[in-house]
Every structure is written in structure tokens, then in C-alpha cells.
Amino acid sequence: MSTPSTSLATPRFWRDDALPFIEARAIDDGRKISYASHAHETFSIGAVTGGESVYVNGRVRQRVGRGAVVLMNPHDVHACNPLDDQPWSYRMFYLDTAWLTALQHELGFSRNQGFRAFSTAASRDAALFAQLDQLYDTLDDARIDTLYKHSAIVELFEHAHRLLNPAPTQPTEANYKLARAADFIRAHCTQPLKLDDICAAAGLSASYLIRAFNARYGMTPHAFVVNCRVEFSRAQLKRGRPIAAVAADAGFADQAHLQRAFLQRVAATPGQYRG
């Protein structure tokens, strides 16, 4: 059994202040990387460039290998982990939801409404895979100017929308109440939260909230709080803030607590992510 070298197993993050609505991540040997179930505030899409992994997104559970494209809507609970210590590599992109929603409106999807979620969790479209793979190389190349990079991003996501045609959904009354609970948690995640406060904000009983929230979001309210704190921490770390200060502001007990939660959900340490 071979052990991945540190350089191959270390995640690489790409960010550019000139293109603040997108972030990219790549790893060349992810066999030792393990994700807990988690969710992002952003829309996420990735290309599996080698090996195989088990991809879980809501009720979807499937094996994906080279050539696969995986998609996660904002707040979709998901995880993607390698099979049996086999080599696995991928390239991921995280898009600001407001930016992507504006692009959807420009393309004629649900104009003047909110983000239109994709019903497709995975695709084997070869052209989309090739565009994603090339986009990472384009973004990562310091010799390529911002205008070209921005144009490549728009072109790719226009193609993705035309190909996958995200469909509108009609939320039920119960989902509205659960959404209120989730919004309350997101707005107050850095503060000590009580179950009674979340129930009051959603207009739901504690027993129903815990059962229905887990069914709707794939995690308990407590796990959702921790996930939101990790997402808050990501935003703060992008700004280069000290890790200890971020841990305190995010509501973690200490830096070690942030480190554990961050590693489980981002598969990178706060230091690696901040760069």
C-alpha cells in the first residue's frame, strides 16, 4: 500500500480578489481525505479527475469516477469520500449564490426570483467535465488575465444551465417553517443557541423540529449550527484573520474545537485554507 506524498495529499485553494464570487480547490491524491456530512452557503460543482469515490447528496448515493461532474446546491448536505484507500483526485469550484442567481436571471431562468436549484446531483457529460477541468487550469495560471478568466467562468456556467436546466420547486408550508429555523440558525450561529429559541422562530415543537429538520437538511439542528460556524470561519479566514480570533468570533470553545470541526467538513486545516 502506497502512502500519498504530502504535496499530493495537500489541498490547494485558488482565490483572486478580482473575482471574489468564485473559489477553487484541487487535490491530486485524496485517498486519506475524509469528509463528514456538511453543506456550503455557496453553489458547488466539481470534476472527478482520477480514482473513485462514494458521493452522497441527500437521497443520492453513488460511486463516481474520472469524468464525473458532481453538483451541490447551496445548503445541500453532502459528502464524497474515496473507496478502499484508492487514489482519488478532483477539482471543485464554489460559486457565490447571489452572483450565480444574477447569472440565472440574465439567462432567463426565474427572473426576479431567488436561486433556481439544480435537480441533477451528478452528470457524465464529457463536454461539461472538460470545461471544468480546463477552467481550473485557466484560473490557476497567473499569466492569464482577469478578463479571460471571468469570460471562461461565465461561458462554463451558461453551458451548465443550458445543459442541466434547473427546475423550479414549490415549497410546502412545513418546508417554509423548517427554512425559517435554518435561517434563524444561520443568522445567530455564532451565538449560544437554545433549542427553544429555534422552535419559537420556526413555530414548531421541539420533537417535530428535530425529526423534520434532520429529514429535510440531513443533519440535526446542532450539527447545522456547527456547519454554519465553519462556513462563517471560511469567510473570515479568506480575509487572513488570525485563526484564534476567528474561532472565538465563530462561537467555538477554542482554536482546537475549530480545527476539528473545520477539518471534518473542509478536509483541510484552517491554516491550509487561509494560505
Choose among 208, 244, 213: nearest CA to 227: 213
For the chain, which domains are there?
Answer: 6-164 (2.60.120.280), 173-274 (1.10.10.60)
Whole-number pLDDT of residue 171: 56
**3-class secondary structure for the chain?**
CCCCCHHHHCCEEECCCCCCCEEEEEECCCCCCCCCCECCCCEEEEEEEEEEEEEEECCEEEEEECCCEEEECCCCCEEEEECCCCCEEEEEEEECHHHHHHHHHHCCCCCCCCCCCCCCCEECCHHHHHHHHHHHHHHHCCCCCHHHHHHHHHHHHHHHHHHHCCCCCCCCHHHHHHHHHHHHHHHHCCCCCCHHHHHHHHCCCHHHHHHHHHHHHCCCHHHHHHHHHHHHHHHHHHCCCCHHHHHHHHCCCCHHHHHHHHHHHHCCCHHHHHC
CA atoms within 13 A on the CB side of 115: 17
Between CA 196 and CA 50 the distance in angstroms is 46
Q: Does 2 have pLDDT greater than 50?
A: no
Mean pLDDT of the chain: 90
Between CA 167 and CA 118 the distance in angstroms is 7
- Say what percent of the chain tops pLDDT 90: 73
Q: What is the pLDDT of residues 212-266, one digit of tens each?
A: 999 888 899 999 999 999 999 999 999 999 999 999 999 999 999 999 999 999 9
Q: What is the pLDDT of residues 59-87, one digit of tens each?
A: 889 999 999 999 999 999 999 888 877 78
What is the identity of the amino acid at 55? Y
Choose among 38, 41, 44: nearest CA to 81: 38
Q: What is the pLDDT of residues 228-239, one digit of tens each?
A: 999 999 999 999
Q: With cut-offs at 50, 70 and 90, classify the pLDDT of residue 1.
A: very low
User: Which pTM value belongs to this model?
Assistant: 0.85
**207, 155 Cβ separation under 8 angstroms:** no
Q: Name the more confident of 168 and 155.
A: 155
